[in-house]
Amino acid sequence: MKNSLIIKILGTTHFALGSMLIGMLVFGGEMWMEQMNINLKTLKAIQGTADVVGASHIGIGLLLFFCSSIKDLNSIKKVLVGELGLIACMLCVAFFNTFSTYWAPELPGYNGPPPPFWFILGLNPVLCIYGYYKGK
């Protein structure tokens, strides 16, 4: 598989991740208030922070789309290593949030990111490692 295709796929996953995050916050806010018993002020603080994170992922996706036009193999490998570092940080946070109910029992019912996010967090490192070692 060509590295430019791998980077386009990675960009698409970041774009999708950001879009899903913003969509969940815009259209699911009232549901969160009811299910988690949080007030409007807390919800607005969560939405304000998560909107920035979602927009950042959309920006990272666009940046990766532009990086897919790089022809130098060494530069492409640096982009893949950078993406791998970013995803490693995201995986650490996702695992922390998933298992936080063990050391923070005051958050009942929260089990970390939803399955589409786990799919993206699992797919990206595999593609990065494959592209680094076997990509053309």
DSSP 17-66: HHHHHHHHHHHHHHHHHHHHT--HHHHHHHHHHHHHHHHHHHHHHHHHHH
Contact 57, 120 (CB under 8 A): no
Give the number of domains in the chain: 1
Query: Against a cut of 0.95, is the pTM above it?
Result: no
Show pLDDT as tens, one digit a residue, over the chain (136 residues). 788 999 999 999 999 999 988 888 777 666 666 666 667 777 777 777 888 888 999 999 999 999 999 989 899 999 999 999 999 999 998 888 787 766 655 655 566 778 888 888 899 999 999 999 988 8
Question: Which domain covers residue 64, as residue numbers?
Answer: 3-134
3-state secondary structure of 135: coil
Distance CA 72, CA 110 (A): 44
